[in-house]
């Protein structure tokens, strides 16, 4: 998984986007890894942490929608 994250970071940085990794292991639910920076983007807060947040696909869809819409989650 660390190699997947590094690849995602490189690709996202090349295009000025936020990285994410969507993955699924055999007979397991779909999971998504994003940085705290993505969570902060929903509220206009900057995080400089390299730790990842793991969430299910539905939660990721909510985060992505809010970031793309440019809305804070408290609006």
75 within domain boundaries = no
pLDDT digits (tens, 9 = 90+) for 24-47: 999 999 999 998 888 877 766 667
Q: What percentage of the chain exceeds 70 in pLDDT?
A: 81
Whether 45 is covered by a domain: the verdict is: yes
Q: What residues make up the domain containing 20? A: 2-69
* Total domains present in the chain: 1
Q: 9 pLDDT band (50/70/90 cuts)?
A: very high
Distance, CA of 71 to CA of 42 (rounded, Å)? 6
What mean pLDDT, rounded, does the chain reach? 85
Q: Is 50 inside any structural domain? A: yes
CB 6 within 8 A of CB 13: no
User: What's the predicted TM-score (pTM) here?
Assistant: 0.77
Helix, strand, coil: what percent of the chain each, to 5? 45, 20, 35
């Amino acid at each position: 998984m660390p190699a997947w994250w590094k690849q995602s970071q490189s690709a996202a940085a090349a295009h000025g986007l936020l990285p994410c990794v969507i993955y699924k292991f055999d007979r397991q639910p779909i999971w998504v890894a994003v940085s705290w920076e993505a969570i902060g983007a929903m509220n206009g807060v900057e995080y400089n942490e390299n730790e990842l947040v793991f969430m299910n696909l539905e939660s990721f869809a909510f985060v992505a929608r809010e970031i793309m819409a440019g809305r804070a989650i408290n609006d």
